[in-house]
Amino acid sequence: MRLLVLFAFCSLSATAGAQGSTRWQDIGKTSSGNAVFVDTRSVKDSAGMKVAVVRTVYAEAVSTPQGPITGSRARAVFDCANQKVAVLESIIYHDERTNRIYRQSAPRQPGFGPALQSTFAHVALQHLCAPRR
């Protein structure tokens, strides 16, 4: 019985540790002053393509009929060679801390497009695809 309790405790501790292991690195700002972060543990690299989770915290809340939105998070593929991005999943938050979601979407067939200048995608593309020193 003690062994079972110890195993359950260790499993719970490992899960809690994994959930708290996200590391958000500040990578810049958009032209409107929104802070952009990348989850360093989410970054995967394969043949010039990088997959990462990127978070944006809005400098000022954006008003909507359903209430203000304060940030967003996206999982995206960054094509470094062609300087393009494809969003795999996007979440827009009323309040990220309490997980109040305004809208969540995941396109059935993600397509690559340009990372428009000074958007979160452009800031992330510049950071993730910068030459290593």
Q: Which residues contact 128 (CB under 8 A, 6 or more apart)?
A: 38, 43, 50, 52, 78, 80
Percentage above 90 pLDDT, the chain: 76
Question: Which pLDDT belongs to residue 4?
Answer: 27
Least confident piece of the model among 10-24, 25-39, 52-66, 81-95: 10-24
Q: Backbone phi, then psi, for 14, in 5-degree steps?
A: -65, -40
* Residue extents of the structural domains in the chain: 22-128
Tell me: the pLDDT tens digits for 80-103?
999 999 999 999 999 999 999 999
Classify residue 88 by its DSSP letter.
Answer: E
| Of the options 2.40.70.10, 3.40.50.150, 2.40.128.710, 2.40.37.20, the CATH number for the domain spanning 22-128 | 2.40.128.710
